[in-house]
Structure 1
Amino acid sequence: MSPTDPAQSSALIRRLPLIVIAIAAVIGAITLRDHLSFQALAENREALIALRDQHYALAVLGFMAVYVAIVAFSLPGATIATLTGGFLFGVFPGALFNVTAATIGATGIFLAVRRGLGDRLVAKMETSTGRAHQLRESIRENELSVLFLIRLVPAVPFFVANILPALVGVRLWRFIYTTFLGIIPGGVVYTWVGAGLGEVFARDETPNLGIIFEPQILGPILGLCALAALPIVLKAIKGART
Protein backbone atom coordinates (compact mmCIF):
# COMPACT_ATOMS: atom_id res chain seq x y z
CA MET A 1 0.00 0.00 0.00
CA SER A 2 1.47 3.36 -0.96
CA PRO A 3 1.94 6.21 1.58
CA THR A 4 -0.76 8.23 -0.11
CA ASP A 5 -3.45 5.59 0.28
CA PRO A 6 -4.55 6.61 3.84
CA ALA A 7 -4.92 10.24 2.74
CA GLN A 8 -6.89 9.20 -0.33
CA SER A 9 -9.13 6.96 1.77
CA SER A 10 -9.74 9.77 4.24
CA ALA A 11 -10.67 12.15 1.42
CA LEU A 12 -13.06 9.57 -0.03
CA ILE A 13 -14.75 9.07 3.35
CA ARG A 14 -15.17 12.84 3.76
CA ARG A 15 -16.74 13.11 0.34
CA LEU A 16 -18.89 9.98 0.57
CA PRO A 17 -22.06 11.79 1.80
CA LEU A 18 -21.70 14.31 -1.02
CA ILE A 19 -21.22 11.50 -3.55
CA VAL A 20 -24.34 9.74 -2.24
CA ILE A 21 -26.33 12.98 -2.53
CA ALA A 22 -25.13 13.54 -6.10
CA ILE A 23 -26.03 9.99 -7.14
CA ALA A 24 -29.44 10.20 -5.43
CA ALA A 25 -30.13 13.54 -7.10
CA VAL A 26 -29.44 12.12 -10.56
CA ILE A 27 -31.48 8.96 -9.96
CA GLY A 28 -34.31 10.97 -8.39
CA ALA A 29 -34.44 13.41 -11.30
CA ILE A 30 -34.89 10.48 -13.67
CA THR A 31 -37.20 8.19 -11.70
CA LEU A 32 -39.26 10.36 -9.33
CA ARG A 33 -40.38 13.26 -11.49
CA ASP A 34 -43.77 11.67 -12.20
CA HIS A 35 -44.24 10.49 -8.61
CA LEU A 36 -43.56 13.85 -6.95
CA SER A 37 -45.88 15.98 -9.05
CA PHE A 38 -49.13 17.87 -8.72
CA GLN A 39 -50.89 15.18 -10.70
CA ALA A 40 -49.67 12.51 -8.26
CA LEU A 41 -50.94 14.60 -5.35
CA ALA A 42 -54.33 14.99 -7.02
CA GLU A 43 -54.61 11.27 -7.65
CA ASN A 44 -53.63 10.27 -4.11
CA ARG A 45 -55.33 13.06 -2.14
CA GLU A 46 -58.09 10.88 -0.69
CA ALA A 47 -55.63 8.26 0.56
CA LEU A 48 -53.45 10.96 2.10
CA ILE A 49 -56.42 12.58 3.85
CA ALA A 50 -57.54 9.19 5.18
CA LEU A 51 -54.05 8.52 6.55
CA ARG A 52 -53.95 11.94 8.18
CA ASP A 53 -57.37 11.50 9.80
CA GLN A 54 -56.62 8.01 11.10
CA HIS A 55 -52.96 8.42 12.10
CA TYR A 56 -52.22 12.12 12.45
CA ALA A 57 -48.85 11.85 14.22
CA LEU A 58 -47.66 9.17 11.78
CA ALA A 59 -48.77 11.30 8.84
CA VAL A 60 -46.84 14.29 10.19
CA LEU A 61 -43.66 12.28 10.77
CA GLY A 62 -43.92 10.52 7.41
CA PHE A 63 -44.56 13.78 5.56
CA MET A 64 -41.64 15.54 7.22
CA ALA A 65 -39.31 12.59 6.59
CA VAL A 66 -40.16 12.66 2.87
CA TYR A 67 -39.73 16.44 2.75
CA VAL A 68 -36.33 16.23 4.48
CA ALA A 69 -35.20 13.59 1.97
CA ILE A 70 -36.39 15.69 -0.99
CA VAL A 71 -34.35 18.68 0.16
CA ALA A 72 -31.30 16.79 1.44
CA PHE A 73 -30.93 14.78 -1.77
CA SER A 74 -31.99 17.64 -4.08
CA LEU A 75 -34.85 15.56 -5.46
CA PRO A 76 -37.61 17.05 -7.62
CA GLY A 77 -40.84 17.95 -5.87
CA ALA A 78 -39.95 20.43 -3.11
CA THR A 79 -42.71 22.80 -4.19
CA ILE A 80 -45.23 19.95 -4.37
CA ALA A 81 -44.17 18.87 -0.89
CA THR A 82 -44.82 22.38 0.41
CA LEU A 83 -48.25 22.39 -1.21
CA THR A 84 -48.95 18.98 0.31
CA GLY A 85 -48.10 20.30 3.75
CA GLY A 86 -50.67 23.05 3.35
CA PHE A 87 -53.25 20.70 1.83
CA LEU A 88 -52.99 18.14 4.63
CA PHE A 89 -52.32 20.32 7.67
CA GLY A 90 -53.54 23.82 6.81
CA VAL A 91 -51.57 27.05 6.82
CA PHE A 92 -50.74 26.34 10.45
CA PRO A 93 -49.24 24.00 11.51
CA GLY A 94 -48.53 23.12 7.85
CA ALA A 95 -46.13 26.05 7.42
CA LEU A 96 -44.27 25.03 10.58
CA PHE A 97 -43.90 21.45 9.34
CA ASN A 98 -42.75 22.68 5.92
CA VAL A 99 -40.20 25.18 7.19
CA THR A 100 -38.81 22.79 9.81
CA ALA A 101 -38.42 19.90 7.35
CA ALA A 102 -36.86 22.15 4.71
CA THR A 103 -34.39 23.50 7.27
CA ILE A 104 -33.39 19.99 8.39
CA GLY A 105 -32.90 18.86 4.79
CA ALA A 106 -30.92 21.99 3.93
CA THR A 107 -28.70 21.44 6.97
CA GLY A 108 -28.00 17.90 5.80
CA ILE A 109 -26.72 18.98 2.40
CA PHE A 110 -24.86 21.92 3.98
CA LEU A 111 -22.95 19.53 6.26
CA ALA A 112 -22.22 17.11 3.41
CA VAL A 113 -20.82 19.87 1.20
CA ARG A 114 -18.84 21.45 4.03
CA ARG A 115 -17.29 18.13 5.03
CA GLY A 116 -16.60 17.06 1.46
CA LEU A 117 -15.39 20.32 -0.03
CA GLY A 118 -15.99 23.33 2.17
CA ASP A 119 -13.38 22.91 4.90
CA ARG A 120 -10.50 22.58 2.46
CA LEU A 121 -11.80 25.37 0.24
CA VAL A 122 -12.19 27.74 3.20
CA ALA A 123 -8.66 26.90 4.35
CA LYS A 124 -7.35 27.82 0.89
CA MET A 125 -9.33 31.07 0.97
CA GLU A 126 -7.87 31.96 4.36
CA THR A 127 -4.27 31.47 3.20
CA SER A 128 -4.67 33.03 -0.24
CA THR A 129 -4.30 36.72 -0.99
CA GLY A 130 -6.29 36.81 -4.22
CA ARG A 131 -9.91 37.38 -5.15
CA ALA A 132 -11.08 34.22 -3.39
CA HIS A 133 -9.84 35.59 -0.07
CA GLN A 134 -11.45 38.96 -0.78
CA LEU A 135 -14.76 37.23 -1.56
CA ARG A 136 -14.62 35.29 1.72
CA GLU A 137 -13.83 38.44 3.70
CA SER A 138 -16.62 40.36 1.98
CA ILE A 139 -19.16 37.66 2.86
CA ARG A 140 -17.80 37.41 6.41
CA GLU A 141 -18.25 41.14 6.99
CA ASN A 142 -21.90 40.98 5.90
CA GLU A 143 -22.64 37.34 6.66
CA LEU A 144 -26.10 37.65 8.22
CA SER A 145 -27.32 40.04 5.53
CA VAL A 146 -26.03 37.81 2.73
CA LEU A 147 -27.54 34.66 4.27
CA PHE A 148 -30.95 36.27 4.66
CA LEU A 149 -30.83 37.75 1.17
CA ILE A 150 -30.14 34.44 -0.58
CA ARG A 151 -33.11 32.95 1.28
CA LEU A 152 -35.51 35.82 0.71
CA VAL A 153 -34.82 36.57 -2.97
CA PRO A 154 -37.18 34.27 -4.94
CA ALA A 155 -34.77 34.09 -7.89
CA VAL A 156 -32.04 32.29 -5.88
CA PRO A 157 -32.44 28.49 -6.26
CA PHE A 158 -32.87 26.74 -2.92
CA PHE A 159 -30.02 24.28 -3.49
CA VAL A 160 -27.64 27.14 -4.30
CA ALA A 161 -28.53 28.79 -1.00
CA ASN A 162 -27.72 25.48 0.72
CA ILE A 163 -24.35 24.91 -0.96
CA LEU A 164 -22.82 28.40 -1.14
CA PRO A 165 -22.64 29.00 2.64
CA ALA A 166 -20.85 25.66 3.10
CA LEU A 167 -18.22 26.66 0.53
CA VAL A 168 -17.35 29.93 2.29
CA GLY A 169 -17.19 28.66 5.87
CA VAL A 170 -20.48 29.85 7.37
CA ARG A 171 -20.97 28.54 10.90
CA LEU A 172 -23.56 25.79 11.33
CA TRP A 173 -25.92 27.46 13.79
CA ARG A 174 -25.87 30.70 11.83
CA PHE A 175 -26.79 28.74 8.70
CA ILE A 176 -29.62 26.95 10.53
CA TYR A 177 -31.39 29.96 12.00
CA THR A 178 -31.01 32.17 8.91
CA THR A 179 -32.39 29.32 6.82
CA PHE A 180 -35.35 28.75 9.13
CA LEU A 181 -36.26 32.43 9.40
CA GLY A 182 -35.37 33.30 5.81
CA ILE A 183 -37.63 30.70 4.18
CA ILE A 184 -40.67 31.52 6.31
CA PRO A 185 -42.16 34.15 3.93
CA GLY A 186 -42.00 31.95 0.82
CA GLY A 187 -42.92 28.87 2.82
CA VAL A 188 -46.05 30.49 4.22
CA VAL A 189 -47.12 31.67 0.75
CA TYR A 190 -46.91 28.20 -0.82
CA THR A 191 -48.39 26.53 2.25
CA TRP A 192 -51.32 28.95 1.95
CA VAL A 193 -51.70 27.96 -1.72
CA GLY A 194 -51.65 24.31 -0.67
CA ALA A 195 -54.32 24.91 1.96
CA GLY A 196 -56.68 25.98 -0.83
CA LEU A 197 -56.05 22.96 -3.04
CA GLY A 198 -59.38 21.37 -2.10
CA GLU A 199 -61.21 23.98 -4.19
CA VAL A 200 -58.61 23.69 -6.96
CA PHE A 201 -59.13 19.92 -7.13
CA ALA A 202 -62.89 20.40 -7.16
CA ARG A 203 -62.59 22.67 -10.22
CA ASP A 204 -60.08 20.30 -11.87
CA GLU A 205 -57.54 23.11 -12.13
CA THR A 206 -53.88 23.61 -11.22
CA PRO A 207 -52.65 26.01 -8.53
CA ASN A 208 -51.11 29.36 -9.37
CA LEU A 209 -47.48 28.76 -8.36
CA GLY A 210 -46.50 32.15 -9.69
CA ILE A 211 -48.44 33.83 -6.91
CA ILE A 212 -45.21 34.67 -5.11
CA PHE A 213 -44.46 37.14 -7.94
CA GLU A 214 -47.80 38.92 -7.54
CA PRO A 215 -47.26 42.54 -6.38
CA GLN A 216 -49.11 42.09 -3.08
CA ILE A 217 -46.88 39.10 -2.22
CA LEU A 218 -43.59 40.08 -3.85
CA GLY A 219 -43.71 43.63 -2.44
CA PRO A 220 -43.42 42.67 1.24
CA ILE A 221 -40.76 40.04 0.43
CA LEU A 222 -38.69 42.63 -1.44
CA GLY A 223 -39.17 44.91 1.55
CA LEU A 224 -37.61 42.23 3.74
CA CYS A 225 -34.80 41.91 1.20
CA ALA A 226 -34.15 45.64 1.42
CA LEU A 227 -34.11 45.42 5.21
CA ALA A 228 -31.62 42.53 5.08
CA ALA A 229 -29.42 44.48 2.64
CA LEU A 230 -29.49 47.69 4.70
CA PRO A 231 -26.41 46.84 6.81
CA ILE A 232 -24.41 46.17 3.64
CA VAL A 233 -25.47 49.53 2.18
CA LEU A 234 -24.67 51.39 5.40
CA LYS A 235 -21.23 49.79 5.61
CA ALA A 236 -20.55 50.72 1.98
CA ILE A 237 -21.57 54.33 2.62
CA LYS A 238 -19.46 54.50 5.77
CA GLY A 239 -16.48 53.02 3.92
CA ALA A 240 -16.85 55.51 1.07
CA ARG A 241 -16.84 58.43 3.53
CA THR A 242 -13.72 57.24 5.25
Structure 2
Amino acid sequence: MNINFKLILGIIYLLCLGILLFVVFSYLDLKDLKDFTYIKNNSEILLDFKNQNITLFIIFFFLFCILWIFLLGFGSPLCIASGFLFGQFVGTLICVLALTIGSTLLYMFANYYFHDLIVKYLEAKILKYKYLFKKNEFLYFLIFRFAGGAGLPFGIQNVLPTIFNMKVSNYFYSTFLGLLPSLYILNSLGQGIEKLIEKNTSLNLVQVILEPGIYIPLSCFFFILSISFLIRKKIFKKN
Protein backbone atom coordinates (compact mmCIF):
# COMPACT_ATOMS: atom_id res chain seq x y z
CA MET A 1 0.00 0.00 0.00
CA ASN A 2 1.19 3.53 -0.76
CA ILE A 3 3.16 4.89 2.22
CA ASN A 4 1.51 8.33 1.94
CA PHE A 5 -1.93 6.76 2.24
CA LYS A 6 -0.79 4.85 5.33
CA LEU A 7 0.54 8.07 6.82
CA ILE A 8 -2.75 9.89 6.20
CA LEU A 9 -4.69 6.95 7.64
CA GLY A 10 -2.45 6.91 10.71
CA ILE A 11 -2.95 10.66 11.24
CA ILE A 12 -6.74 10.28 10.96
CA TYR A 13 -6.62 7.39 13.44
CA LEU A 14 -4.56 9.41 15.96
CA LEU A 15 -6.84 12.41 15.47
CA CYS A 16 -9.91 10.31 16.29
CA LEU A 17 -8.11 8.94 19.36
CA GLY A 18 -7.16 12.46 20.46
CA ILE A 19 -10.74 13.73 20.08
CA LEU A 20 -12.10 10.80 22.09
CA LEU A 21 -9.58 11.36 24.90
CA PHE A 22 -10.32 15.09 24.91
CA VAL A 23 -14.07 14.48 25.21
CA VAL A 24 -13.60 11.93 28.02
CA PHE A 25 -11.20 14.02 30.11
CA SER A 26 -13.09 17.27 29.50
CA TYR A 27 -15.87 15.86 31.67
CA LEU A 28 -13.54 14.20 34.19
CA ASP A 29 -11.44 16.01 36.78
CA LEU A 30 -9.07 13.50 38.38
CA LYS A 31 -9.02 15.52 41.64
CA ASP A 32 -12.75 14.89 42.08
CA LEU A 33 -12.15 11.13 42.14
CA LYS A 34 -10.77 11.56 45.68
CA ASP A 35 -14.07 13.09 46.85
CA PHE A 36 -16.48 10.36 48.00
CA THR A 37 -19.51 12.69 47.91
CA TYR A 38 -18.73 13.58 44.29
CA ILE A 39 -18.38 9.91 43.37
CA LYS A 40 -21.61 8.93 45.17
CA ASN A 41 -23.68 11.76 43.66
CA ASN A 42 -22.48 11.11 40.13
CA SER A 43 -22.92 7.37 40.56
CA GLU A 44 -26.56 7.92 41.51
CA ILE A 45 -27.11 10.19 38.48
CA LEU A 46 -25.53 7.62 36.18
CA LEU A 47 -27.51 4.71 37.62
CA ASP A 48 -30.78 6.70 37.47
CA PHE A 49 -30.15 7.51 33.82
CA LYS A 50 -29.38 3.85 33.14
CA ASN A 51 -32.61 2.72 34.83
CA GLN A 52 -34.69 5.19 32.81
CA ASN A 53 -33.10 4.29 29.45
CA ILE A 54 -31.71 0.79 29.99
CA THR A 55 -31.74 -0.39 26.35
CA LEU A 56 -30.29 2.84 24.97
CA PHE A 57 -27.72 2.95 27.76
CA ILE A 58 -26.52 -0.61 27.08
CA ILE A 59 -26.25 0.06 23.34
CA PHE A 60 -24.29 3.28 23.93
CA PHE A 61 -21.94 1.64 26.45
CA PHE A 62 -21.44 -1.38 24.18
CA LEU A 63 -20.57 0.77 21.14
CA PHE A 64 -18.33 3.05 23.23
CA CYS A 65 -16.37 0.02 24.47
CA ILE A 66 -15.88 -1.26 20.91
CA LEU A 67 -14.69 2.15 19.73
CA TRP A 68 -12.42 2.63 22.76
CA ILE A 69 -10.68 -0.73 22.22
CA PHE A 70 -10.43 -0.12 18.47
CA LEU A 71 -8.64 3.15 19.27
CA LEU A 72 -6.03 1.26 21.35
CA GLY A 73 -7.71 1.95 24.69
CA PHE A 74 -7.11 -0.16 27.80
CA GLY A 75 -9.78 -2.58 28.95
CA SER A 76 -9.68 -2.80 32.77
CA PRO A 77 -11.53 0.48 33.60
CA LEU A 78 -14.29 -0.46 31.13
CA CYS A 79 -14.75 -3.82 32.84
CA ILE A 80 -14.98 -2.30 36.33
CA ALA A 81 -17.45 0.31 35.02
CA SER A 82 -19.48 -2.44 33.34
CA GLY A 83 -19.76 -4.40 36.59
CA PHE A 84 -20.65 -1.20 38.45
CA LEU A 85 -23.44 -0.32 36.00
CA PHE A 86 -24.85 -3.71 35.00
CA GLY A 87 -23.74 -6.23 37.65
CA GLN A 88 -21.22 -9.03 37.36
CA PHE A 89 -23.11 -11.34 34.97
CA VAL A 90 -24.72 -8.92 32.51
CA GLY A 91 -21.68 -6.65 32.77
CA THR A 92 -19.32 -9.51 31.94
CA LEU A 93 -21.39 -10.51 28.91
CA ILE A 94 -21.50 -6.93 27.58
CA CYS A 95 -17.82 -6.39 28.28
CA VAL A 96 -16.44 -9.62 26.84
CA LEU A 97 -18.47 -9.22 23.63
CA ALA A 98 -17.51 -5.55 23.21
CA LEU A 99 -13.81 -6.10 23.95
CA THR A 100 -13.68 -9.14 21.68
CA ILE A 101 -15.36 -7.31 18.79
CA GLY A 102 -13.25 -4.17 19.30
CA SER A 103 -10.04 -6.21 19.47
CA THR A 104 -10.97 -8.21 16.37
CA LEU A 105 -11.79 -5.08 14.36
CA LEU A 106 -8.48 -3.53 15.43
CA TYR A 107 -6.62 -6.71 14.45
CA MET A 108 -8.27 -6.79 11.01
CA PHE A 109 -7.56 -3.09 10.49
CA ALA A 110 -3.92 -3.41 11.58
CA ASN A 111 -3.38 -6.60 9.59
CA TYR A 112 -4.67 -4.99 6.41
CA TYR A 113 -3.14 -1.52 6.65
CA PHE A 114 -0.13 -1.77 8.97
CA HIS A 115 1.07 -5.37 8.70
CA ASP A 116 4.55 -4.49 7.40
CA LEU A 117 5.04 -1.76 10.01
CA ILE A 118 4.08 -4.05 12.90
CA VAL A 119 6.31 -6.84 11.61
CA LYS A 120 9.21 -4.41 11.29
CA TYR A 121 9.03 -3.16 14.89
CA LEU A 122 7.66 -6.14 16.83
CA GLU A 123 8.63 -9.37 15.06
CA ALA A 124 12.21 -9.47 16.39
CA LYS A 125 10.95 -9.22 19.98
CA ILE A 126 8.71 -12.30 19.74
CA LEU A 127 10.39 -14.32 16.99
CA LYS A 128 11.18 -17.16 19.41
CA TYR A 129 7.44 -17.67 20.09
CA LYS A 130 6.42 -17.69 16.44
CA TYR A 131 6.65 -21.45 16.05
CA LEU A 132 4.25 -21.95 18.99
CA PHE A 133 1.53 -19.94 17.28
CA LYS A 134 2.20 -21.60 13.95
CA LYS A 135 1.78 -25.00 15.64
CA ASN A 136 -1.65 -24.19 17.13
CA GLU A 137 -2.57 -20.53 16.89
CA PHE A 138 -5.94 -20.89 18.62
CA LEU A 139 -4.58 -22.71 21.68
CA TYR A 140 -1.52 -20.54 22.21
CA PHE A 141 -3.33 -17.26 21.66
CA LEU A 142 -5.98 -18.46 24.12
CA ILE A 143 -3.20 -19.12 26.66
CA PHE A 144 -1.60 -15.79 25.75
CA ARG A 145 -4.88 -13.96 26.47
CA PHE A 146 -5.50 -15.87 29.70
CA ALA A 147 -1.93 -15.15 30.85
CA GLY A 148 -2.51 -11.42 30.52
CA GLY A 149 -0.83 -11.04 27.15
CA ALA A 150 2.65 -11.66 28.61
CA GLY A 151 2.44 -8.30 30.37
CA LEU A 152 2.06 -6.30 27.15
CA PRO A 153 -0.33 -3.32 26.93
CA PHE A 154 -3.78 -4.40 25.74
CA GLY A 155 -3.53 -2.46 22.46
CA ILE A 156 -0.23 -4.17 21.59
CA GLN A 157 -1.73 -7.58 22.44
CA ASN A 158 -4.52 -6.92 19.98
CA VAL A 159 -2.30 -6.19 16.97
CA LEU A 160 0.50 -8.67 17.74
CA PRO A 161 -1.08 -11.62 15.82
CA THR A 162 -0.67 -9.70 12.56
CA ILE A 163 2.89 -11.06 12.68
CA PHE A 164 1.49 -14.60 12.48
CA ASN A 165 -1.31 -13.65 10.05
CA MET A 166 -3.76 -15.36 12.39
CA LYS A 167 -7.18 -16.46 11.14
CA VAL A 168 -9.88 -14.00 12.20
CA SER A 169 -12.17 -16.74 13.55
CA ASN A 170 -9.37 -18.18 15.72
CA TYR A 171 -8.53 -14.68 16.92
CA PHE A 172 -12.16 -13.94 17.85
CA TYR A 173 -12.89 -17.14 19.78
CA SER A 174 -9.54 -17.36 21.57
CA THR A 175 -9.90 -13.72 22.63
CA PHE A 176 -13.46 -14.29 23.87
CA LEU A 177 -12.55 -17.36 25.93
CA GLY A 178 -9.14 -16.11 27.06
CA LEU A 179 -10.47 -12.80 28.39
CA LEU A 180 -13.58 -14.23 30.06
CA PRO A 181 -12.12 -15.23 33.49
CA SER A 182 -10.32 -11.94 34.15
CA LEU A 183 -13.24 -9.85 32.84
CA TYR A 184 -15.64 -11.69 35.14
CA ILE A 185 -13.41 -10.91 38.12
CA LEU A 186 -13.11 -7.23 37.16
CA ASN A 187 -16.88 -6.97 36.69
CA SER A 188 -17.39 -8.59 40.10
CA LEU A 189 -15.07 -5.93 41.54
CA GLY A 190 -17.13 -3.23 39.82
CA GLN A 191 -20.34 -4.62 41.32
CA GLY A 192 -18.66 -4.71 44.74
CA ILE A 193 -17.71 -1.04 44.42
CA GLU A 194 -21.30 -0.15 43.46
CA LYS A 195 -22.69 -1.95 46.54
CA LEU A 196 -20.08 -0.32 48.75
CA ILE A 197 -20.95 3.18 47.52
CA GLU A 198 -24.69 2.49 47.78
CA LYS A 199 -24.67 1.55 51.47
CA ASN A 200 -22.13 4.08 52.80
CA THR A 201 -22.09 7.84 53.27
CA SER A 202 -18.32 7.91 53.78
CA LEU A 203 -15.48 5.48 53.30
CA ASN A 204 -12.06 4.66 54.66
CA LEU A 205 -9.43 2.19 53.51
CA VAL A 206 -10.32 -0.43 56.16
CA GLN A 207 -13.99 -0.47 55.07
CA VAL A 208 -12.94 -0.96 51.47
CA ILE A 209 -10.52 -3.80 52.28
CA LEU A 210 -13.02 -5.63 54.53
CA GLU A 211 -15.90 -5.45 52.02
CA PRO A 212 -16.47 -9.01 50.61
CA GLY A 213 -17.49 -7.56 47.24
CA ILE A 214 -14.01 -6.01 47.04
CA TYR A 215 -11.57 -8.43 48.66
CA ILE A 216 -13.01 -11.61 47.11
CA PRO A 217 -12.68 -10.40 43.47
CA LEU A 218 -9.26 -8.92 44.29
CA SER A 219 -8.13 -12.24 45.79
CA CYS A 220 -9.36 -14.05 42.66
CA PHE A 221 -7.61 -11.48 40.49
CA PHE A 222 -4.28 -12.02 42.24
CA PHE A 223 -4.80 -15.79 42.00
CA ILE A 224 -5.34 -15.48 38.23
CA LEU A 225 -2.29 -13.21 38.11
CA SER A 226 -0.17 -15.88 39.84
CA ILE A 227 -1.35 -18.58 37.43
CA SER A 228 -0.68 -16.23 34.51
CA PHE A 229 2.85 -15.64 35.78
CA LEU A 230 3.50 -19.39 36.01
CA ILE A 231 2.09 -19.95 32.51
CA ARG A 232 4.25 -17.17 31.06
CA LYS A 233 7.31 -18.55 32.82
CA LYS A 234 6.67 -22.13 31.69
CA ILE A 235 5.52 -21.54 28.11
CA PHE A 236 6.71 -18.13 26.94
CA LYS A 237 9.93 -17.62 28.89
CA LYS A 238 11.64 -20.96 28.44
CA ASN A 239 11.67 -20.86 24.63
Q: TM (normalized to structure 1)?
A: 0.70
1:99 has 2:96 as partner: yes
Which of residues 83, 89, 95 is equivalent to 2:80? 83
2:178 aligned residue: 182
Which of residues 217, 222, 225 is equivalent to 1:218? 222
Contact 2:79 2:95 in 1 (8 A): yes
The Cα shift of 1:171 comes to 0.9
Which of residues 155, 161, 168 is equivalent to 1:159? 155
Which segment is superposed worse, 43-52 or 28-37?
A: 28-37
The Cα shift of 1:86 comes to 0.8
Percent of aligned pairs with the same residue? Answer: 20
The Cα shift of 1:87 comes to 1.3
Contact 1:99 1:180 in 2 (8 A): yes
The Cα shift of 1:144 comes to 2.5
SS at match of 2:152: coil
The Cα shift of 1:49 comes to 1.2
2:189 aligned residue: 193
Structure 1 or 2, whichever has the larger Rg, is 1
Q: Distance in 1 between matches of 2:52 and 2:135?
A: 51
Q: Distance in 2 between matches of 1:117 and 1:110?
A: 10
Q: Distance in 1 between matches of 2:184 and 2:41?
A: 24
Q: Distance in 1 between matches of 2:22 and 2:50?
A: 29
2:142 aligned residue: 148
Structure 1 unpaired stretches of 5+? 1-6, 125-129, 237-242
Contact 1:110 1:163 in 2 (8 A): yes
Aligned length: 217
Equivalent AA in structure 2 for residue 97 of structure 1: I
The Cα shift of 1:183 comes to 0.6
1:171 aligned residue: 167
Contact 1:74 1:159 in 2 (8 A): yes
Equivalent AA in structure 1 for residue 15 of structure 2: I
Which of residues 39, 46, 49 is equivalent to 1:48? 46
Structure 2 unpaired stretches of 5+? none
Which of residues 62, 65, 83 is equivalent to 2:63? 65
The Cα shift of 1:28 comes to 4.4
1:3 aligned residue: none
Across the aligned residues of Structure 1 and Structure 2, the Cα RMSD in angstroms comes to 3.8
1:111 has 2:103 as partner: no
